Amino acid sequence: MDAEPLVAPGGCIGIVGGGQLGRMTALAAAALGYRCRVLDRDPLAPAKQVAAHDTADYDDMAALERFAAKVDVVTCEFENVPVAALEALALWKPVRPGPRAFAIAQDRLPEKDFAREVGFATPPYRAIAAESDFDGAAYPAILKTRRLGYDGKGQARIASAEEGRAAWTRLGRVPCLLEGLVDFEREVSAIIARAADGALRAFDVVENRHRQGILDLTIAPAPIAPARAAEAQRLAGAAAQRLGLVGLLAVEMFVDRQGRLLFNEMAPRPHNSGHWTIEGCTASQFEQLVRAVVGLPLADPARRANAVMKNLIGDEVRAWSRLAADPALKLHLYGKAEIRAGRKLGHVTRLYPLDVTPDPRSAFP
Ligand code: AMP
């Protein structure tokens, strides 16, 4: 007999965070007959346009308890949700993934230590808590705040200990990580789903190209050796397993000039580099997350088309009507009213037959 899911269709998934990742998760949940309720402190958060919602701060315990009472299971769509909020929610309802995955992913030091324990190689790194910590490190290097950095924010490239000390002062002398600068051939990511029974299903490894620290393009599949891609998926699976995570884990890596994989960072949530799976795979990353958190069997994440995904950042979104008119493109807009530089406002995906290598240069003329 098939096992009953934790939450049957008709039930409600609580999503902490109301950004585009929550919005696309709610749309996938609706397709499977589930309702969603979004919690975000911003009354205009984009996911609130497509789901029931509450507006509250994440440290408002009474609001968290009211939210938990209205949902059957809780998941998160952003990484920096306070761990205390997740621990509180877990008193009332299952939280998937649980607080531990977030606690590790929110601090670059335990995150890198964890990656090494799992078997990933990493760039050389050391904690920075005092000016003398810059002495004797290898340069060039990149200085990153341990917490709350994203899209290249809270980072500085430095060529010497002197420059490091100056950059650290500019970053407010908060706890940082100093990492060796990798001369990488390309950046790749792996997204894996893990179910409560331990089943693992990986999406194909993709290549990511950034501009000014923000993801610009994702190319699926990544043009890397199949053995390298399999290693990335195996290590991502080992990380999810070790975390006991139920949901999605996205791992960003570098491929260096020798073809070696180096861990950069991970996120226990849907990932921008997985948006191509909406059209490119038999089930998207968002459907896979919904399945994992409600306890349905994981779907087959097989690639049915090659793809290039481009983010629409800031003014790029103004091309929406031209993009919508191109029959070869699939346009997604996130319902954000205000166009700001560096803000992700939508994305667009172009599909290719499985035997055609996607060319990112001609994908979006
Ligand atoms: P992160 O926020 O750590 O993902 O960094 C943002 C981007 O900065 C990455 O996607 C890379 O393009 C670049 N970057 C981060 N760390 C390194 C590194 N150790 N070596 C070279 N480039 C890096």
Q: Same structural domain for residues 62 and 149?
A: no
Arithmetic mean of pLDDT over the chain: 96
pLDDT at 60 over 60: yes
In a domain, 359, yes or no: no
pLDDT at 150: 66
Residue 67 pLDDT grade (very low, low, confident, very high; cuts 50, 70, 90) = very high
- Does ligand 1 have an atom closer than 6 angstroms to the CB of 111? no
- Does ligand 1 have an atom closer than 6 angstroms to the CB of 123? yes
Query: What does the pLDDT look like over 195-211, one tens digit per residue?
Result: 999 999 999 999 999 99
Ligand 1 atom closest to the Cα of residue 208 is 10
Ligand 1 atom closest to the Cα of residue 183 is 21
In a domain, 212, yes or no: yes
- Does ligand 1 have an atom closer than 6 angstroms to the CB of 77? no
| d(C-alpha 73, C-alpha 48), whole Å | 18
| d(C-alpha 98, C-alpha 65), whole Å | 17
Q: Which of 142, 185, 206, 262 to mutate to test the pocket of ligand 1 (most atoms within 8 A of CB)?
A: 142
Residue 38 pLDDT grade (very low, low, confident, very high; cuts 50, 70, 90) = very high
Q: Same structural domain for residues 225 and 316?
A: yes
In a domain, 116, yes or no: no
Q: Same structural domain for residues 281 and 336?
A: yes
| d(C-alpha 308, C-alpha 302), whole Å | 16
pLDDT at 1: 42
pLDDT at 56: 98
- Which one of 141, 164, 180 terminates a domain? 180
In a domain, 119, yes or no: no
Query: What total of structural domains would you count in the chain?
Result: 3
Residue 5 pLDDT grade (very low, low, confident, very high; cuts 50, 70, 90) = confident
- Does ligand 1 have an atom closer than 6 angstroms to the CB of 207? no
CA 213–ligand 1 middle distance (angstroms): 7
In a domain, 110, yes or no: no
Q: Same structural domain for residues 151 and 213?
A: no
Q: Considering the entire predicted model, what is its pTM?
A: 0.96
CA 34–ligand 1 middle distance (angstroms): 37
Over residues 240-247, mean pLDDT: 98
Q: Which of 261, 264, 265 to mutate to test the pocket of ligand 1 (most atoms within 8 A of CB)?
A: 264
Query: What does the pLDDT look like over 310-343, one tens digit per residue?
Result: 999 999 999 999 999 999 999 999 999 899 999 9
CA 301–ligand 1 middle distance (angstroms): 28
pLDDT at 152: 66
Q: Same structural domain for residues 168 and 192?
A: no
- Does ligand 1 have an atom closer than 6 angstroms to the CB of 265? yes
Q: Same structural domain for residues 176 and 197?
A: no
- Which one of 40, 73, 105 terminates a domain? 105
Q: Same structural domain for residues 29 and 56?
A: yes
Ligand 1 atom closest to the Cα of residue 264 is 3
CA 140–ligand 1 middle distance (angstroms): 13
Q: Same structural domain for residues 228 and 304?
A: yes
Q: Same structural domain for residues 132 and 61?
A: no
Query: What does the pLDDT look like over 208-225, one tens digit per residue?
Result: 999 988 999 999 999 999
Domain of residue 152, CATH code: 3.30.1490.20
In a domain, 118, yes or no: no
Residue 22 belongs to domain spanning: 12-105
Angle (deg, nearest 10), helices 20-31 and 285-294: 70
* Of residues 33, 13, 11, the one with CA closest to residue 23: 13
pLDDT at 148: 86
Domain of residue 99, CATH code: 3.40.50.20
Residue 151 pLDDT grade (very low, low, confident, very high; cuts 50, 70, 90) = low
Ligand 1 atom closest to the Cα of residue 149 is 2
Domain of residue 275, CATH code: 3.30.470.20
- Does ligand 1 have an atom closer than 6 angstroms to the CB of 287? no
In a domain, 112, yes or no: no
Over residues 83-93, mean pLDDT: 97
Q: Same structural domain for residues 81 and 202?
A: no
Residues 6+ apart with CB under 8 A from 52: 12, 35, 36, 37, 38, 70
Over residues 39-58, mean pLDDT: 98
Give the pair of three-digit tokens for residue 156.
């500085």
Residue 4 pLDDT grade (very low, low, confident, very high; cuts 50, 70, 90) = confident
pLDDT at 66 over 90: yes
Q: Same structural domain for residues 51 and 81?
A: yes
Give the pair of three-digit tokens for residue 114.
């964890």
In a domain, 314, yes or no: yes
- Percent with pLDDT over 90 in the chain: 94
Ligand 1 atom closest to the Cα of residue 179 is 19
Q: Same structural domain for residues 253 and 314?
A: yes
pLDDT at 102: 97
